[in-house]
């Protein structure tokens, strides 16, 4: 199961990225693959509410529809969430804990999408074994890089079944790091002009290090910190910077889950908000609609 991000050569915010329903046509972007969803009940004058959830390894963070100031509430499972919210539209954001990112070398820029999908699957099998055979994947491509993301920690077919049972329309399933990266682009204008910048998205021990050039992703590296502390994060960021042949500037950091993340003076970079707290910060909350990337 593979879905593709549109080519981002024209703009870093064009196209769509996410994991498709198993029955959706692979050549169509996720937002257009809705033939498996029921029609909106417009004939009886009803309007669905739009909800957003963030799924991590411990459960689900659920935001209240229409309330931009209230923190998310913890729900034990998607089973429980579907029971509580029948007949809604749903945008799902997945934690890096549930994902496996895969960068590809320069030789893959010349192969077509079908060959690239096969290459991605083989690389996942080589790294993670036979369990990776059924992982849904989403691919991305910009003028500066190409890669893929596998959804390893969520039973996607079960999510579709539960959604249909409770008349919930899952409109998107997108990595949380992608939303955070887009937010960083909107908040820090210099990222769009910098030839060698980075955005570091933090989720406790998990970090996604996104290298970018003039606002376009060039690579994504996934790392696990020894401890969710500012010192461990600073050390890992320095290691990632040292692998670049050029100065990485600016480096933007955002996220949550760092135990002492209220004080980030050790970090060499521009920190957006605080990094403590166990859930995504309120200011980083998505709007609940399928986002244009």
pLDDT at residue 190, as a whole number: 94
Please tell me the pTM assigned to this model. Answer: 0.81
271 forms beta bridges with 253
Say if 10 falls within a structural domain: no
* Domain interval for residue 206: 177-284
Look at residue 129 and tell me if it is in a domain: no
What are the structure tokens assigned to 91, written together?
């945008």
* d(C-alpha 177, C-alpha 96), whole Å: 7
Count of domains for the chain: 1
Does residue 106 contact residue 187 with C-beta atoms inside 8 Å? no
**pLDDT at position 285, please?**
87
User: Is 50 part of any domain?
Assistant: no
Q: What pLDDT was estimated at residue 201?
A: 97
Q: What is the pLDDT of residue 261?
A: 94
Instruction: Report yes or no on 181 lying in a domain.
Output: yes
The DSSP-derived string for 180-209 is HHHHHHHH-GGGGT-SSEEEEEEETTEEEE
Provide the Cα torsion 81, 257, 292, 211; round to 10°: -150
DSSP 7: P
Assigned domain for 257 exists:
yes
Q: Residue 229: CA atoms inside 13 Å, Cβ hemisphere, count? A: 5
CATH number of residue 205's parent domain: 3.30.420.40
Rg for the chain, CA atoms, rounded: 19
Question: Would you say residue 195 lies in a domain?
Answer: yes
Three-class SS state of 212: strand
Residue 200 belongs to some domain of the structure: yes
Burial class (CB in 10 A: 0-12, 13-18, 19+), 284: buried
Q: Specify if 251 maps to a domain.
A: yes
pLDDT in tens, the chain (293 residues): 655 433 322 222 223 456 654 333 332 333 322 322 333 333 344 567 889 999 999 999 999 887 778 889 999 999 999 999 999 999 999 999 999 988 776 667 778 888 989 999 999 999 999 999 999 998 888 887 888 899 999 999 999 999 999 999 998 899 999 999 999 999 999 999 999 999 999 999 999 999 999 999 988 999 999 999 999 999 999 999 998 878 899 999 999 999 999 999 999 999 999 999 989 998 888 864 333 33
């Amino acid at each position: 199961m593979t879905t593709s991000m549109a080519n981002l050569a024209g703009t870093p915010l064009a196209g769509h990225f996410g994991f498709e329903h198993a029955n959706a046509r692979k050549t169509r972007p996720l937002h257009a693959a809705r033939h498996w969803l029921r029609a909106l009940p417009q004939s009886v004058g009803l309007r669905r509410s739009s909800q957003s959830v963030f799924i991590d390894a411990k459960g689900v963070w659920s935001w209240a529809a229409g309330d931009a100031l209230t923190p998310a509430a913890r729900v034990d499972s998607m089973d429980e969430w579907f029971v509580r919210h029948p007949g809604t539209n749903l945008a799902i954001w997945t934690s890096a804990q549930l994902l496996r990112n895969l960068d590809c070398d320069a030789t893959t820029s010349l192969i077509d999408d079908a060959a690239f999908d096969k290459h991605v699957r083989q690389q996942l099998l080589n790294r993670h074994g036979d369990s990776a055979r059924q992982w849904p994947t989403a691919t991305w491509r910009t003028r500066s890089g190409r890669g893929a993301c596998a959804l390893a920690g969520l039973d996607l077919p079960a999510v579709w079944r539960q959604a249909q049972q409770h008349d919930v329309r899952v409109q998107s399933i997108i990595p949380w790091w992608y939303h955070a990266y887009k937010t960083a682009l909107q908040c820090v204008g210099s990222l769009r002009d910098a030839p060698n910048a980075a955005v570091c998205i933090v989720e406790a021990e998990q970090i996604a290090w996104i290298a970018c050039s003039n606002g376009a992703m060039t690579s994504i590296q996934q790392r696990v910190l020894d401890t969710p502390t500012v010192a461990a994060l600073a050390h890992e960021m320095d290691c990632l910077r040292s692998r670049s042949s050029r100065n990485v500037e600016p480096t933007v950091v955002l996220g949550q889950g760092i135990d002492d993340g209220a004080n980030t003076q050790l970090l060499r970079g521009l920190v957006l908000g605080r990094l403590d707290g166990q859930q995504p910060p309120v200011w980083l909350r998505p709007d609940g609609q399928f986002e244009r990337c």
